[in-house]
Structure 1
Amino acid sequence: MEKSTIKKITIIISIVGLLFASSCSLFTGFLNLVGNSEPVPPPTVTPTPQPLLEVETGEALTTIQNGFSAVYTRVLPAVVNIRVVQYGVQNTAPDIWNFPFPFPFHFPFQMPDRGTPSNRSAIGSGFVWDEAGYIVTNNHVIEGADEITVTLADGTSLAGTLVGADRDSDLAVLKIEYPEGKLQPIQIADSTQVQVGQLVAAIGNPFGLQGSMTVGIISALGRSLPVSSQDSPGISFTIPDVIQVDAPINPGNSGGVLVDMDARLVGVPTAIESPSGANAGIGFVVPSVIVQNVVPKLIENGYYEHPWIGISGTTLTSDMAEEAGLPREQHGVLIVEVIPDSPAEKAGLLGSGENQVGDIIIQIDSQPTLDFEDLTTYMARHTNTGETITLTILRDGETQILDLELGIRPSSPSPRAEREQPVRSGDVWLGISGVEVTPGILQAMDLEPGLTGILIQQVILNSPADQAGLQGSSTAAEINGEQILVGGDIILTVDGHQVRDMESLNAELDKHKLGDQIILTILRGGKQIHLKVVLGENPRSSVSGQ
């Protein structure tokens, strides 16, 4: 029945088409006879394009293809796979809290499996720095790792030892024992010379697929990635001079290589901007100029000292300039705050106040600072701690020149350490870390508003909480612009007494001694459960952040 209908439709369409064509021909003939004195010109015939351009395009594509193949062949021996294991962690979700940059930045760092309740494993990439066996990767790949395994391109797996790490540049150096001269180091390009539109290739281990290459172009230059400051709350530093690329960067690419068409390192893939955590065509790469500054110091000292002025500031906008009585076209860096006892304070720089416009930095060592990025980029490229720089500033509309001796930047914290708090009281130990329940957490967990308690983030292996069966969080959610793990047990009461925050939980634990049994009321999967927990002794009572 269906085939018959189709045939009928086809026949009808064909007949209509023929009738329409015939009608058009008749109508045209009619016009020629009665309405036109001149013959209708024949239709214009478009000449067939010559295949020369197609041949040239094909040859060009073949040349590019061969070029990428040659790059891959040269670079692959220098790229390694890095697998890390963290012991004693029940929560097996990706270690999002260790990543130093806030949402929407994500890290191409892959958690391949849930492993066992006691161990958590993850994978990333790295590359051979020199023939002595030094391997470079991202700090967030190896941070917190108890075991590091480096697998070379030929499949050889070796134990990796952490030599040094720098959270403020997200770089780390490992060491492997391998016969001298048998490794193939990467060649380094000058990232200050790269251009937007330049062809590049990313090589690493996305999703654990060793030796994968993706290609693209440099999309933008001069980006920055924020890093929080530990010793200066409220102040954030940045990784400056960051390269933006559209070459696909996926989980597992972290710490790998971005290379040019000469097979030289342009930078280290570090982060992507994506609402979902998957590649969205916006990747961020720590440039080779920073890599070349930081890595030798990590090898030599195990750490890197970032030069520091000691200010918080912002790019001067046209409105700010007008408010300060300056021309709207004035550019520079407006100092918002001068950190106490910093090099800036010692040099006499002034910050902004209620009735005072702060100093405006317009040059550093005679180089213009059109915006804040110019200042941080110059610092990263050209300065070291202990050196003296010359700042040209505007103060009350007048130009002044100040010399400033650069100090050492305060180190960065772990966002996890800032957000999570260990639950402990006196000598008794529960063995969890948690966060106070917020409206955002309740919404992310689809729970009724108004609920109070402690969301368990992590359960320490073999702790009283672990033995009682408490469960940590394992699902990442964006809450107030940052990523936090949700889905774990929520502690509601201790022995029937309501728990509203960390202080009240510890106050309840203070009432007990070692060996006491407490009853926790928890919320799990929307249902209340009562669990008995025997409080134990903290095996690391002298260590913060247990």
Structure 2
Amino acid sequence: MIRPRSTIISLFFIMMLSACNFSPSFLSSLSADDPPAAETENLQTTEAAPVEEKEEELSKIQVSTAAVIPTLAPEPTPLSESLIAEADAEELLLTNIYERVNPSVVNILVTVEGQDTGSFPNNLFPNQGQGSGFVFDTEGHIVTNNHVVQDAQRVDVTFADGATIQAEVVGTDPDSDLAVLRVNAPGESLRPVKWGDSDSIKVGQRAIAIGNPFGLDGTLTSGIISALGRSLPTENGTFRIPEIIQTDAAINPGNSGGPLLNSQGEVVGVNTAIVPRQDRFGGERSFLGVGFAVPANLVKRVVPGLIKDGQY
């Protein structure tokens, strides 16, 4: 019996499927829209793996963070009692000197006719028109710088208690940059300074300045004696003042004529000049850490002559 060809092919195909042990459902799993289950499982596993790894890493990080214990910074070592005592002694020293000497320091306001009292031609010196001074004796004599009162038409002196008295110029000496004023005040209201020996001071010793920088009356600054034996030109340039004291105690415009003190509160110099800082436009002068003072021993020689003769 001859079977049609199509029937033979169909039987052959069914036998092949049976031999390979495939079920008819396999055919439906091969559609393009539904990939094989094995491949789908692999895709899911492959996609899930990074998420699980990240969660594991995060859990490790969280555990690691939780395990960190903040470490307290070491507590600073407290200052020793000796250092505290030394600092307290320094404060007490400066406070005591200020209380004893400041009543002897005065603010000097100068009026110069036809000239701005805030200007001064030689930039080595602080401003003319305003300066400092201190009481020399109970007769009302006050020591200051020559360049503070030079060409003055009127001089007013203000004491630490606020009292202002007009003063007269008794004598001046341009070669030492010193001048003496006199005020009419009761002797009991005047407190003269005490004098030290400027020849005995040494570099490195304490230096204290009291004055009126920029009109700020009763200002105390401190530093050291930076150098000795300097010389300073006078305003007219014809003479140099010898044995000038150099200090880093802050001296600014308005300090001129004020006292430079040692640790005993004694006057060892008269603050006279600074090396100024100026901007390129010639702006305000200010302190650079280099100030100069006329030595006390020279002052003690010159001032009596100015009181007696008006010159030295």
| Fold shared per TM-score above 0.5 | yes
How far 1:56 sits from its partner (Å)?
A: 1.2
CA displacement at 1:93 relative to structure 2: 6.8
1:452-507 Cα shifts (integer Å, max 9, x gaps): xxxxxxxxxxxxxxxxxxxxxxxxxxxxxxxxxxxxxxxxxxxxxxxxxxxxxxxx
Q: Contact conserved, 1:125 with 1:254, CA < 8 A, in 2?
A: yes
- Which of 263, 266, 270 is matched with 1:264 structurally? 266
Aligned partner of 1:283 in structure 2 is: 291
Partner AA of 2:96 in structure 1 = A
8 Å Cα contact 1:132/1:181 also seen in 2? no
What per-residue deviation string (whole Å, max 9, x for no partner) do you get for residues 355-385 of structure 1? Answer: xxxxxxxxxxxxxxxxxxxxxxxxxxxxxxx
For 2:277 and 2:75, locate their aligned partners in 1 and report how far apart those are by CA, in whole Å.
47
In the aligned structure 1, how far is the partner of 2:233 from the partner of 2:210? 25
| CA RMSD of superposed structures (Å) | 2.5
Aligned to 1:181, what secondary structure does the other structure show?
A: helix
Whether 1:60 and 2:68 are equivalent positions in the alignment is no
Taking structure 1 as reference, are residues 228 and 202 closer, same or farther at Cα in structure 2, changes over 3 Å only?
Answer: closer
Q: Determine which structure has more spread, i.e. the larger CA radius of gyration.
A: 2
Provide the C-alpha distance between the structure 1 equivalents of 2:185 and 2:275, rounded to a whole number of angstroms. Answer: 37
Question: Unpaired runs of 5+ in structure 2?
Answer: 1-57, 69-73, 279-284
2: CA distance, partners of 1:256 / 1:241: 18
More strand by share: 1
Tell me the residue number matched to 2:110: 84
Q: Does 1:160 align with 2:184?
A: no
1:340-489 aligned at under 5 Å gives the runs none
Asked whether the 8 Å contact 2:198–2:297 carries over to 1, the reply is: yes
Aligned in 2, Cα 1:207/1:49: closer, same or farther, shift over 3 Å?
closer
* Structure with greater contact order relative to length (CA < 8 Å, sep ≥ 6): 2
Q: Which amino acid aligns with 1:185?
A: P
Q: 1:278 to 1:48 in 2, by over 3 A?
A: closer
Give unmatched runs, 5+ long, in structure 1: 1-11, 23-46, 111-121, 230-234, 305-546
Q: Is the 8 A contact 2:209 2:222 kept in 1?
A: yes
Aligned equivalents of 2:234 and 2:163: distance in 1?
35
Look up the match of 2:126: 108
Which TM-score applies when normalising by structure 1? Answer: 0.42
1:173 corresponds in structure 2 to: 180
Q: Spell out, residue by residue over 1:303-333, the C-alpha distance to the aligned partner (whole angstroms, 9 max, x if none).
A: 01xxxxxxxxxxxxxxxxxxxxxxxxxxxxx
Matches within 5 A, 1:504-543: none
How far residue 226 of structure 1 moved from its aligned partner, in angstroms, is 1.4
Is structure 2 residue 299 aligned with structure 1 residue 297? no
Tell whether the 8 Å contact from 1:267 to 1:288 is kept in structure 2 after alignment.
Answer: yes
8 Å Cα contact 2:108/2:155 also seen in 1: yes
| Secondary structure of 2:287's aligned partner | coil
CA distance 1:224–1:85, shift in 2 (3 Å): same
Q: Quote the Cα distance in structure 2 between the aligned partners of 1:123 and 1:155.
A: 16
Question: Residue 257 of structure 2 aligns with which residue?
Answer: 255
State the Cα distance separating 1:49 from its structure 2 match: 9.1
More helix by share: 2
Taking every aligned residue pair, what percent have the same amino acid on both sides?
Answer: 47
TM-aligned CA deviation for residue 50 of structure 1? 7.0
Contact map agreement 1:109 1:253 (CA 8 A) in 2: no
Mapping 1:484-503, distance limit 5 Å: none
Superposition TM-score, scaled by structure 2 size = 0.72
